[in-house]
């Protein structure tokens, strides 16, 4: 490979791909100066052009594999999305000794172990800063900047769509479906927003963050995952009254030789920095033994923020090629053979405090029954709100914050509570984290 010019191939001209082209066009001079070598976008593979970027000076193929198979290309940027074709593309590039940069969190979460093994075998670099939290350099922070720390845990707002929806619901008391429609109209949510809403997108990102934080293999099915569609405007209002905000968090904690990994709506104290990250912004809070608590905040998506992360990886590779130091640091911080084999804490064993919202008949003895059934599972009440019924209405709203209890104990208590004649419908429940 040439040390004078590093030839880059780009596969995909969607939102992020157009951002990469625009950064090349805008900042080529400063990028080359920082690389210590010439960086050239030599070949683009895309099924169609994108009017949001100028590709007139670049060689373009309609077959992305023409880029991966181009003998002149040193670095392949994969931005086509999905897993099947993307995996084949990355394998093709790595097998030919080309370095790869990707923004594909689903690919890394699902196939990363296999692809990292191939990269190690071929002496290539596989980089994926843009796969998590867009423009926030969280992967580099975990893998490099905090290399001298034991990472104790992390929690993050790692899906901007979900954060936007919860922010709007909280600030204006709007219904979930109404805000989701606005998010789609603004381009924050896809036509099919399932992965954003049900937590799948955040779970993919958490898998990557946990692997980096704890030096463990990627485990796609590890996180317990719960979406935001069951959070009601009144939950956000009650949380505020109790001194909390509700955020959709990915949480990972090391517990000896086990890891607690989960994605779900979470009540967090309103005075925590991450509780005040609103709109489409992302944030990751890292707890480590040397630095203590570190909070990163920034744009989690978008053409230029994500392209910025892509170009950061490309620049690292170009610098290493110029210096003859390939490969870079292992993708997960340590070589695959040295990754720790850690078990995942079963969902039922995870202990948190809980937010409970009940609709009950307004009559004496109801709270005594509820308290008794919680107490039978050794669950005590830390805070309580009760809203008296409106005139002519015989039911009241009760909101409870419990002390810490496992999901198994809470479920047993709620099963009994929901059988009470005085309790109407199901009990709404959300986890509470004090951090």
Of 205, 237, 272, 363, catalytic:
205
Burial class (CB in 10 A: 0-12, 13-18, 19+), 43: buried
Residue 205 appears among annotated catalytic residues = yes
User: How far is 324 from 246, CA to CA, in rounded Å?
Assistant: 48
Closest CA to 202 of 177, 227, 176: 227
Burial class (CB in 10 A: 0-12, 13-18, 19+), 417: buried
Phi, psi dihedral angles at 113 (to 5 degrees):
-60, -45
Q: Specify the residue for token string 């934080």.
A: 213
* Opening angle at CA 214, ends 213 and 219, nearest 5: 95
**Secondary structure in 3-state letters for 104-142:** CHHHHHHHHHHHHHHHHHHCCCEECHHHCCCCCCHHHHH
Q: Write the CA distances from 7 to 81, 90, 118, 268, integer angstroms.
A: 22, 17, 21, 47
Helix then strand then coil, in percent of the chain rounded to 5, is: 40, 25, 35
Contact, 248 vs 166, CB < 8 A?
A: yes
Contact, 75 vs 7, CB < 8 A?
A: yes
Q: For helices 84-95 and 105-122, what crossing angle results, to 10°? A: 20
Closest CA to 273 of 285, 265, 290, 263: 285
Active site residues: 205
């Amino acid at each position: 490979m040439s040390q004078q010019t590093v030839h880059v191939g780009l596969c995909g001209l969607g939102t992020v791909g157009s951002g990469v082209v625009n950064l090349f066009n805008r900042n080529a001079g400063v990028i080359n100066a920082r690389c210590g070598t010439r960086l050239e976008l030599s070949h683009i593979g895309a099924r169609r052009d994108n009017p949001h970027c100028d590709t007139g000076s670049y060689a373009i193929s309609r077959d992305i594999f023409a880029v991966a198979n181009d003998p002149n290309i040193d670095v392949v940027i994969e931005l086509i999305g999905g897993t099947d074709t993307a995996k084949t593309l990355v394998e093709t590039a790595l097998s030919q000794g080309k370095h790869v940069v990707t923004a594909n969190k689903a690919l890394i979460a699902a196939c990363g172990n296999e692809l990292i093994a191939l990269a190690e075998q071929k002496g290539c670099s596989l980089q994926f800063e843009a796969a998590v939290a867009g423009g926030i350099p969280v992967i580099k922070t975990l893998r490099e900047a905090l290399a001298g720390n034991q990472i104790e845990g992390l929690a993050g707002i790692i899906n901007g769509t979900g954060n936007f929806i919860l922010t709007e619901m909280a600030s204006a008391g709007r219904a979930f479906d109404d805000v989701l429609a606005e998010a789609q109209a603004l381009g924050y949510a896809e036509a099919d927003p399932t992965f954003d809403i049900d937590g799948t997108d955040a779970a993919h990102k958490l898998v990557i963050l946990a692997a980096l934080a704890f030096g463990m293999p990627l485990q796609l099915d590890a996180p317990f995952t719960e979406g935001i569609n069951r959070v009601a405007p009144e939950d956000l209002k009650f949380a505020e009254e109790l001194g909390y905000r509700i955020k959709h968090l990915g949480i990972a904690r090391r517990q000896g030789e086990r890891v607690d990994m989960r994605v779900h709506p979470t009540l967090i104290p309103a005075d925590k920095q991450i509780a005040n990250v609103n709109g489409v912004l992302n944030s990751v809070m890292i707890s480590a033994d040397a630095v203590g608590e570190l909070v990163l905040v920034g744009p989690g998506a978008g053409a230029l923020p994500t392209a910025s992360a892509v170009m950061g990886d490309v620049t690292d590779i170009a610098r290493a090629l110029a210096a003859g130091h390939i490969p870079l640091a292992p993708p997960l911080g340590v070589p695959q053979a040295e990754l720790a084999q850690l078990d995942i804490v079963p969902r039922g064993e995870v202990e948190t405090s809980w937010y409970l919202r009940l609709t009950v008949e307004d009559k004496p003895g109801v709270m005594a029954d509820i308290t008794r059934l919680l107490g039978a599972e050794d669950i005590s009440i830390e805070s309580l709100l009760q809203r008296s019924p409106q005139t002519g209405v015989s039911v009241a709203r009760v909101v409870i914050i419990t002390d810490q209890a496992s999901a198994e104990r809470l479920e047993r208590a709620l099963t009994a509570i929901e059988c009470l004649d005085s309790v109407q419908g199901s009990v709404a429940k959300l986890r509470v984290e004090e951090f």
